[in-house]
Structure 1
Amino acid sequence: MPSQRPLLPRSAPAASGMSSRSIVALLDRLEARSVECHSLMVVHHGRVVAEGWWAPYSAERPHLLYSLTKSFTSMAVGIAIADGLLSLDDRVVDVLPEHVPADLSEQGSRITVHHLLSMTAGHPTDSLGEAWELEPDDLVKGFLRLPFAAAEGTRHSYDNSTTFILARMVERVTGRDLPGFLDERLFEPMGVDHAEWDRVASGAAFGFHGLHLTTEAVAAFGELLLRGGRWGDQQLVPREWVELATGRHIDCVPFKDDGSDDADFACGYGYQIWMSRHGYHGHGSFGQQCVVVPSHDLVVAVTAQGDAQVVLDALWECLLPGMDEVGSARDDEILADRLRGLSLRPVPGSAGPERSADARLDASAEGSALPDGTTVRVVPADGGWLIRFDSLLDVEVGHGVWRESSPLGRPVVAAGAWQGSTFLADLYVITTPHRVRLVVDADAGTAVATWSTVPLTGPGLELHVRSPLMTRPDVA
């Protein structure tokens, strides 16, 4: 596990000029709305005034950011532009000529860095799946081959492929891979020594997804943006670029298509950053957030398994009203106690009977994490259990406490219990927002293992506990 070095100074809320009661109200709201938060960090006037992790999540653990990764790729683009290696008007076909298809359309030939950053290339929907299916070995070529529905620069359509291409363009002009470039120019100068990246089979970082950082590193990134790209006495990202990236470039169509409210995803889009009703935010699926509110000198970092809009609503309605209130030392103590006690509830039930159980997995349930017919064996071990899934992997499970194991390289933290003749366990893939609920009917000899939310990179548990994670065909 990486060492933990403070990136930001600390302060009590009252000393920062805000009320702890507003943060308690935020916690109450998130609990009332059944948001499964994994971490929260509030930074006011450059100091951390509140921080908490819901056990088994913890401060030192990097967490998958999903599409919040895009905002970091945007900063890499800005640095490359400042170095004179790239420009907003550079075309994909000129920077990556070997990826140009023979049947390139006129519009495809005109797509520039600006169009990619603002996601205004003109595809009607996210092109990722179709582009990879069309060209399994070359996502850039697949992107350029797909038909366009709108003129470039005129319509925003959320499109993961655009960020993948930006990552490849940065790598081409800098001669460095994206993780190495960001390590040298951003993370190491900030003191972030634990950035981890998921990759495609060639070893290339996704760019649009797959960055793992601690909550404090996310908060520090927000503070970097708030300070116009400056960290201490170093200008790591040009102020002009931060202002461009965090400014509105295009209207947004509703992010959701089910009619539900998503007000903070309808305020416009910058360069791989969303505009908000207050400030702006980087966003990753299932509630990974870096929220920056310049008018209040405020940064909030959240990791979660939940609905991002619910979290943003809670920030505006619960946290912001307390920004100008005078807090008290007693209120700060109450908040500190609350934050120290945050925990996700282990599965209730008993440690007995002291018995083994053998079952065969039924994968017909939606969101199954394992193949149909997988043999599942529950074996008592050290006050808990060892769960054996065929020859695929073994997972250690605690009773009333969280037990960690790394069966294939990535950690799994688990707790379980017997409820009558049924054994239940929650297996947290702890570097991600996701967990698997295992239910074993010892009498019937059957088991199910389903995701709480299915990872966007696929349902196979074995895939997500391997390190490094590689989930797509090779991309040259």
Structure 2
Amino acid sequence: MSLTAADLAPAIDATAAALTRAGTRPHSLLVRQHDRTLADLRWAPWDTEEPCLVYSCSKTFTSAAVGMAVEDGAFGYQDTLVDLWPEVADAAGPRASRIRIRDALAMATGHSQEQADEVATAMAWHRRPVGDETARAFLAAEPEHDPGSSFAYNNLATWMLSRIVARTTGRDVAELLTRRVLDPIGIGPVPWTRDLDGFPLGFSGMHLRPGQLARFAQLLLDDGVHRGRRLLPAEWIAGHRVSHIDSDGDTGTDWGMGYGWQVWRGLHGYRIDGAMGQLALILPEADAVIVTTNNIDGAQPVLDAVWGHLWPALEARGSGLNDDVEPYRRTLEVAPVAGEPAPERTVRATTGAGDRLVIRPTGGGWTVDLTRTDGGRFAIRVGCGQWLHTHLRLADGELEVAASGGWAGPELTIDLAVVTTPHTLRLRWGPDGLSEQWDTEPLNPGGLFGQARPAPGR
């Protein structure tokens, strides 16, 4: 059977509807098959041209950089972390001393999940990692199990890999990838949050457009070869996409099918996976790539929608191509806040972080004048019945915020969609004062301004 891109539209629409029903708060859905884009959907105010935080999708890029460093002879998959970071080797016990590069790639360092979470919480999220101090804390947590024997999701294992690449090659993972992979496939330098020493976090922090993530996923589907030129090592390609360790599946069926080198095996193919439903599915059986970005805590419903509606249509498409039509494109919208236009009144409030807000009616909507505790001042435009965008330039990056609001009786509600992340912050002002609530809590601390996107190369 040979189906066109247009013939795929019912399956795309059914998938989009299923994502909405499941409460995944979708932001994009992009489908490629046989190296052609078949469908490209977005949900405004998220713009597919706006680089957005993809959380742990970053891990797969770090893994690729490790593969490149191995191919270059900087180290090997069997080498231990302590041999490659000797300054902190004295902190490691007998088991920690045996953790290899391949163990860190497979989330098989031997740490229990409780150990991994405890060290990561203390050293990575509440304050970004820093050199020897964090490496020492990681190795000082003596694994409960032998390295290579058990799975535990471990952000700092990936951070260690990122830093070891920089230590041994003289280039950080972003530099290595940009020059040899991202530039050739048309992505170029991308924003990547860095640790306190200025190196990419490795485990998180990349900001990518859906199309950029799809290009990298396409490269993986094509065995690391782009336009006849090998960009990713054959050894890493073969190794990264097979299961190296059994995974527990506690967060959903597709999380229990094994873990590769910073990728997850799934019901079909395997995937690049970031928190809140940032997913790139590599599906060799259908010669297809699916990228979808969402905002849900626990993304199995995203995969269920894809497997139930989109996968059968892709599987039915034969190798014969008849795609001389434009890709199926559609723009949907995250509903703006329902409510009435502004009465002629100004609202003043103070956030939990101590920032001062003055919300004043302007032209049928509002302007939020925000004065931070450090003296910085910003103005955010808010639409009534629509989203209005404001670009904020900060000392350490930038934020793109789309805002809508409305009065309902004595309460004013304003949604701040931080479209450089998956998240939306809801402000509600009423007789009891101001309340603030994220739809899903960001993993990066610091409230609204803690979600800043760094400039590429920073």
Normalized against structure 1, the TM-score is what? 0.85
**Secondary structure in structure 2 of the residue aligned to 1:417:** strand
Aligned with 1:461 (options 414, 433, 448): 448
- Kindly tell me: are residues 56 and 290 of structure 1, through their superposed partners in 2, closer, same or farther at Cα, counting changes over 3 Å? same
Q: Please say if 1:320 is aligned against 2:311.
A: yes
Per-residue deviation, 1:245: 0.1
Per-residue deviation, 1:389: 3.4
Alignment of 1:251-266 (within 5 A): 251-256=246-251, 262-266=252-256
Per-residue deviation, 1:374: 4.6
Q: Please say if 1:67 is aligned against 2:52.
A: no
Aligned with 1:281 (options 271, 277, 298): 271
**Structure-2 residue corresponding to 1:34:** 23
- Kindly tell me: are residues 210 and 133 of structure 1, through their superposed partners in 2, closer, same or farther at Cα, counting changes over 3 Å? same
Aligned with 1:428 (options 409, 417, 420): 417
**Structure-1 residue corresponding to 2:173:** 178
**Structure-2 residue corresponding to 1:88:** 77
Aligned with 1:344 (options 334, 343, 348): 334
Structure 1 CA distance, aligned partners of 2:294 and 2:111? 30
Count of residue correspondences: 434
- Kindly tell me: are residues 17 and 380 of structure 1, through their superposed partners in 2, closer, same or farther at Cα, counting changes over 3 Å? closer
**Structure-1 residue corresponding to 2:244:** 249
- Kindly tell me: are residues 176 and 155 of structure 1, through their superposed partners in 2, closer, same or farther at Cα, counting changes over 3 Å? same
Per-residue deviation, 1:466: 6.7
Structure 1 CA distance, aligned partners of 2:278 and 2:193? 16
Structure 1 CA distance, aligned partners of 2:327 and 2:220? 27
**Structure-2 residue corresponding to 1:384:** 365
Matched residue type, 2:300: Q
Aligned with 1:121 (options 100, 109, 134): 109
CA contact (8 A) 1:360 1:445 kept: no
Q: Please say if 1:406 is aligned against 2:387.
A: no
**Structure-2 residue corresponding to 1:365:** none
- Kindly tell me: are residues 271 and 18 of structure 1, through their superposed partners in 2, closer, same or farther at Cα, counting changes over 3 Å? farther
Q: Please say if 1:291 is aligned against 2:281.
A: yes
- Kindly tell me: are residues 16 and 114 of structure 1, through their superposed partners in 2, closer, same or farther at Cα, counting changes over 3 Å? same
**Secondary structure in structure 2 of the residue aligned to 1:71:** helix
Per-residue deviation, 1:394: 3.4
**Structure-2 residue corresponding to 1:99:** 88
**Structure-2 residue corresponding to 1:356:** 346
**Secondary structure in structure 1 of the residue aligned to 2:26:** strand
Q: Please say if 1:397 is aligned against 2:387.
A: no
CA contact (8 A) 1:251 1:268 kept: yes
Runs (5+) with no aligned partner, structure 1: 1-12, 257-261, 362-369, 470-476
**Structure-2 residue corresponding to 1:268:** 258
**Secondary structure in structure 2 of the residue aligned to 1:251:** coil
Per-residue deviation, 1:461: 1.8
Structure 2 CA distance, aligned partners of 1:205 and 1:315? 32
**Secondary structure in structure 2 of the residue aligned to 1:342:** strand
Structure 1 CA distance, aligned partners of 2:316 and 2:260? 32
**Structure-2 residue corresponding to 1:211:** 206
Matched residue type, 1:119: M
Per-residue deviation, 1:381: 2.7
Structure 1 CA distance, aligned partners of 2:190 and 2:326? 33
Q: Please say if 1:151 is aligned against 2:150.
A: no
Matched residue type, 2:134: L
Structure 1 CA distance, aligned partners of 2:112 and 2:170? 32
Per-residue deviation, 1:454: 0.9
**Secondary structure in structure 1 of the residue aligned to 2:381:** strand
Q: Please say if 1:446 is aligned against 2:436.
A: no
**Structure-1 residue corresponding to 2:321:** none
Structure 2 CA distance, aligned partners of 1:334 and 1:231? 23
CA contact (8 A) 2:31 2:40 kept: yes
Q: Percent of counterpart pairs with the same letter?
A: 34
Per-residue deviation, 1:19: 3.1
Matched residue type, 1:21: P
- Kindly tell me: are residues 268 and 325 of structure 1, through their superposed partners in 2, closer, same or farther at Cα, counting changes over 3 Å? closer
Structure 2 CA distance, aligned partners of 1:314 and 1:28? 9
Map Cα deviations across residues 434-458 of structure 1 (whole Å, 9 max, x no partner): 11001111xx371111111111122
CA contact (8 A) 1:124 1:148 kept: yes
Deviates more, 1:344-353 or 1:407-416: 407-416
Matched residue type, 2:269: G
**Structure-1 residue corresponding to 2:100:** 112
CA contact (8 A) 1:413 1:428 kept: yes
Per-residue deviation, 1:160: 0.7
Normalized against structure 2, the TM-score is what? 0.89
Structure 1 CA distance, aligned partners of 2:86 and 2:19? 49
Map Cα deviations across residues 100-135 of structure 1 (whole Å, 9 max, x no partner): 2x3421112111101110111110016254267479
**Secondary structure in structure 2 of the residue aligned to 1:286:** coil
- Kindly tell me: are residues 326 and 162 of structure 1, through their superposed partners in 2, closer, same or farther at Cα, counting changes over 3 Å? closer
Structure 2 CA distance, aligned partners of 1:82 and 1:18? 43
Map Cα deviations across residues 320-359 of structure 1 (whole Å, 9 max, x no partner): 22125479xxxx99994xx524110111122231321223
Runs of 4+ in 1 over 6 A off after TM superposition: 332-335
Per-residue deviation, 1:283: 0.7
Structure 2 CA distance, aligned partners of 1:229 and 1:122? 30
Map Cα deviations across residues 370-421 of structure 1 (whole Å, 9 max, x no partner): 42x6543211234421113343543221222322223333221111122233
**Structure-2 residue corresponding to 1:474:** none
**Secondary structure in structure 1 of the residue aligned to 2:291:** strand
Per-residue deviation, 1:313: 1.1
